[in-house]
Amino acid sequence: MSEVTLLVLDAEPPPRLGRLTGRARVIHADEASLAKQLPDADVLLVWDFTSHAVRRAWPGDGPRPRWVHTASAGVEHVLCPELVASDTVVTNARGIFDQPIAEYVAALVLAMAKDLPRTWDLQREREWHHRETQRVAGTRACVVGSGPIGRAIERTLKALGVRTALVGRTPRTGIHGPEDLDRLIARADWVVCAAPLTDETRGMFDERRFGVMQPSARFINVGRGALVVEKDLAQALSKRWLAGAALDVFEHEPLPPDSPLWDAPGLLVSPHMSGDTVGWRDDLGAQFVELFERWEAGRPLLNVVDKKRGYVPGR
């Protein structure tokens, strides 16, 4: 077998690929040079998973890599019609972010139920103001997205005593279908969005859906920013249709300084960090190396994306 050429769409810090020394010729590209270098690559590692350069470069002339791996759970930034129609296999970082994101969601639930942001504000103001807070055990949650991240969120919230319903693309044992979504969010105290971004899910949380929720409900999005119509959420919070919300992902990142979301009442804004724990980049690099070794040995790859659906099919 001739030496494999691995092309890396770089980001800082770069991946640790020392285990591939002598087994692959590693070349590097940035957004400007990617299109020119794609025809030379057998494998493309999209380390810069915030970039949309692959979507722009893929339709060009010449051969294309046989395998594309993105160091992220979402794949919408790499998929384009030409890649979807090709024989190229696409894999993602499924499994790396599940529990960290679930823990982050649990932290948000506890912080909002226990009014921790207000406690911090009062401390800085040196003001002693006793309040009563909400009990988490016994509340209801609807988790939208039945992939590994959604299931990890479900398990973690259940450990807190939250009665949790999981909604997926198709109904099956333990998972509700989309036709149950409105009914479930109408009685949920916590609505957590962890769905993939597809044509069917884009903008799924809009004015109508926020209007279905209880005034006491809180909304959390750790999926993709475009799943939410952000102006509708800002309006819903301003009108007190919801008790609060937390967004870790946004349609445009970084969130522009003039975005009305910064000042939306009851909204917690975090900079797309829910899955990023200490050592997460090393975990991503190690996962890719393990996948490369399977690919090199001719064994079936894990985390293969259904390119037409836009995610890795699960149970």
Q: How does DSSP assign 189-209, residue by residue?
A: SEEEE-----TTTTT-BSHHH
pLDDT for 315: 57
Where is 286: in which H helix or E strand?
helix 280-296
Q: What is the pLDDT of residue 56?
A: 97
The sheet with strand 67-70 has its strands ordered as 24-29, 4-9, 43-46, 67-70, 89-91
> What pLDDT is recorded for position 314?
78
Q: Tokens representing 312? A: 């890795």
8 Å CB contact between 186 and 212: yes
224 is catalytic: yes
pLDDT confidence of residue 295: 98
Both structure tokens of 268: 């917690």
Question: pLDDT at position 1, please?
Answer: 53
Q: Which of 253, 290, 294, 315 is catalytic?
A: 253
> Which residue of the set 16, 55, 155, 272 is catalytic?
272
**pLDDT under 70 in the chain at which residues?**
1, 315
- Would you state the pLDDT for residue 169? 94
Which pLDDT does position 57 carry in this prediction?
A: 97
**pLDDT reported for residue 203:** 98
From 69, 140, 224, 281, active-site residue: 224
Hey, what domains does the chain have and what are their CATH numbers? 4-95+279-297 (3.40.50.720), 97-269 (3.40.50.720)
Q: Are 211 and 233 in contact (CB under 8 A)?
A: no
DSSP at 151: H
Would residue 163 show up in a list of annotated catalytic residues for this protein? no
23 is known as an active-site residue:
no
